[in-house]
């Protein structure tokens, strides 16, 4: 069976995913596309063989009986509309993060999926598919570190564009840590605190940078995350798990050790897409396979909702200067690991 996929959003990440789905991964093809920029969508559709159908709106694409599953890579504020439409049509849907731009919108999606009685939604938190994170999780799960006590993390970018503003360090960059650390530790957060250190000279006057974000989990694990998005030396993701019996470090990306110009050095990546390029391939291949199997194995709509609630608490903590409780309802039994249901 070849999974016939419709893609809503043909910007940079949408184009990369279309290339993966149509030409690189096994068992899928892109049969329909939609974008607010129709001429761009048409140009991309023509490059596919056979050419994909171009739709004027995402709703029509979702309702196309020739589309087996939907990939949403459009602008964040449109995600709720298209994911809800996919649920209503009974289409499995992969939505790039964020699931939606507000916790309320995410909860709307959760409630709609639960009401449908079928697991249909997966969220694009790709770090769960990174080989380095999977190796670290294996050490935690196997008990090789003992019970985790603390986690120290860093999320560093060499620079960010002018559109990166306000609280995006928390709402745009940090959600990857929010999700992957919950997954690593198999634990939820109960409180958040945000500290703004001395501002770097490399940031704009209107942008706070860096941030220190402190989380506490239900089990009492303490987490600190440095988010530094104007860190000139490169794109650098760090994670150290301190356990009762040992310490586990996230493996560094593979690079050649160089002896040159009186220096011994490793290359440091500059582009997040290069750091996680393989994880995107693994993520979408596993999604294709899970849709065919009629299940959702990756991050769920509940995970997307939890990330939004946590980010909101962190924004509140930043502006209030207080430790803010992370209040979330009990997880519906629908999203319990043992409760996965067929999607078709």
CATH number at residue 158: 3.30.360.10
262 lies in the same domain as 201: yes
338 inside domain: no
Each residue's pLDDT expressed in tens, for the chain with a length of 344 residues = 899 999 999 999 999 999 999 999 999 999 999 999 999 999 999 999 899 999 999 999 999 999 999 999 999 999 999 999 999 999 999 999 999 999 999 999 999 999 999 999 999 999 999 999 999 999 999 999 999 999 999 999 999 999 999 999 999 999 999 999 999 999 999 999 999 999 999 999 999 999 999 999 999 999 999 999 999 999 999 999 999 999 999 998 888 889 999 998 888 888 877 888 899 999 999 999 999 999 999 999 999 999 999 999 999 999 999 999 999 988 999 998 766 655 44
Asked whether residue 117 is assigned to any structural domain, the reply reads yes
Question: Does residue 242 lie in a domain region?
Answer: yes
Closest CA to 96 of 182, 31, 163, 18: 18
Q: Measuring CA to CA, how many Å separate 226 from each of 42, 209, 215, 238?
A: 42, 10, 12, 9
Structural domain boundaries, residue 27: 3-126+278-301
134 and 262 inside one domain = yes
User: Is 101 found in the same domain as 12?
Assistant: yes
User: Does 96 lie in the same domain as 151?
Assistant: no
Q: CA torsion sign, 30 to 52 to 92 to 179?
A: positive
Distance separating alpha carbons of residues 173 and 179, to the nearest angstrom: 11
Provide the number of structural domains found in the chain. Answer: 2
Distance CA 308, CA 107 (A): 9
- 53 and 155, same domain (yes or no): no
- Whether 210 and 200 have beta carbons less than 8 Å apart is answered as yes
Q: How far is CA 129 from the centre of its chain?
A: 10
Instruction: Let me know whether 12 and 144 are in one domain.
Output: no
**One domain, residues 138 and 260:** yes
154 falls within a domain: yes
* Domain presence at residue 79: yes
> Residue 37, class by beta-carbon neighbours within 10 Å (0-12 exposed, 13-18 middle, 19+ buried)?
exposed
């Amino acid at each position: 069976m070849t999974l016939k996929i419709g893609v809503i959003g043909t910007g940079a990440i949408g184009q990369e995913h279309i290339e993966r789905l149509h030409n690189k991964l096994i068992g899928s093809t892109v049969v329909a596309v939609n974008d607010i920029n129709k001429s761009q969508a048409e140009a991309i559709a023509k490059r596919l063989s056979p050419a994909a159908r171009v739709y004027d709106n995402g709703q029509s694409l979702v309702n196309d009986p020739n589309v087996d599953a939907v990939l949403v890579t459009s602008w964040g504020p449109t995600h709720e509309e298209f994911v809800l439409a996919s649920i209503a049509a009974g289409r499995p849907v992969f939505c790039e993060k964020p699931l939606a731009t507000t916790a309320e919108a995410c909860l709307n999606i959760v409630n709609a999926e639960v009401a449908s009685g079928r697991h249909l939604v997966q969220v694009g938190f790709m770090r769960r598919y990174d080989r380095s994170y999977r190796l670290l999780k294996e050490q935690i799960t196997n008990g090789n570190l003992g019970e985790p006590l603390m986690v120290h993390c860093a999320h560093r970018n060499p620079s960010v564009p002018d559109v990166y503003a306000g609280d995006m360090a928390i709402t745009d960059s940090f959600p990857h840590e929010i999700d992957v650390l919950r997954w690593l530790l198999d634990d939820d957060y109960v409180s958040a605190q945000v500290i703004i250190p001395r501002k770097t000279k490399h940031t704009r006057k209107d942008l706070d940078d860096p941030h220190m974000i402190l989380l506490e989990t239900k089990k009492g694990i303490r987490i600190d995350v440095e988010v530094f998005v104007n860190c000139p030396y490169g794109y650098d993701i760090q994670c150290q798990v301190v356990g009762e019996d040992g310490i586990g470090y996230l493996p560094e990306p593979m690079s050649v050790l160089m002896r040159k110009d009186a220096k011994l050095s490793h290359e440091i990546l500059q582009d997040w897409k290069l750091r996680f390029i393989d994880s995107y391939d693994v993520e979408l291949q596993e999604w294709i396979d899970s849709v065919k199997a009629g299940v959702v194995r990756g991050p769920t709509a509940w995970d997307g909702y939890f990330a939004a609630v946590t980010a909101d608490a962190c924004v509140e903590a930043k502006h209030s200067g207080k430790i803010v409780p992370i209040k979330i309802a009990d997880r519906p039994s629908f999203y319990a690991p043992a409760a996965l249901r067929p999607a078709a």
